[in-house]
Amino acid sequence: MFIRFITTGGTIDKIYFDATSQYEVGESHVKHILSEGLVNFDYDLVPMFQKDSLEITDENRQALKEFIENDDASLYVITHGTDTMVETAAKLSSISGKTVILTGSLSPARFKTTDAIFNIGMAVAAVQSVEPGVYLVMNGQVFAEGEVCKNSSANRFEKIGESGSGT
């Protein structure tokens, strides 16, 4: 089994520089998480961009889609900011014959308390278990692309229509 991990930034990789009192997106924590998870499969890690997901452009999404289409792997885990993860999933939905899991975290991987490790674990299990297609993995659930939204007020991902409060 081979999994290609692609990092695009987002909360999961945010770090904090004291001098500026600004959060910025840092080097990915994914490799460290896989090492702690004692994973025993082949993988590599492609840092595509390092952005807050509100700043990801259509050009970025197009480039991401073309990268995957032209690449020779069949299993992908993409770490991504939560605010536009749904939009990126929609953009990637026309990719055929490959399994693509998007995930991220609601608190940074560098925090003592974080959902990042759990979510990367979920993504790794999902990518080898589901049918080819595009999926989101967050909040303990594996969502097919198109059936999920971020409920911003509750700060979590939900099936569309489930709580009535998604946007």
Task: Kindly state the smallest distance separating residue 160's Cβ from a copy of itself, in Å.
Answer: 14
The answer to whether residue 16 forms part of the interface with a copy of itself (CB under 8 A) is: yes
Q: Which residues contact 155 (CB under 8 A, 6 or more apart)?
A: 106
Question: Which residues between 30 and 69 bind a copy of itself (CB under 8 A)?
Answer: 33-34, 36-41, 52
The count of other CB atoms within 10 Å of the CB of residue 74 is 16
Contacting a copy of itself (CB under 8 A), which of 48, 85, 100, 137? 137
Q: At what angle do helices 58-70 and 85-92 cross, to 10 degrees?
A: 50
Sign of the CA dihedral with 3 first, then 7, 12, and 17 last: positive
The answer to whether residue 156 forms part of the interface with a copy of itself (CB under 8 A) is: yes
Sign of the CA dihedral with 119 first, then 124, 126, and 132 last: positive
Task: Kindly state the smallest distance separating residue 64's Cβ from a copy of itself, in Å.
Answer: 22
The residue ranges that bind a copy of itself (CB under 8 A) are 1, 11, 14, 16, 18-19, 21, 23, 33-34, 36-41, 52, 82, 106-108, 110-115, 117-126, 128-130, 137, 139-142, 152, 155-158
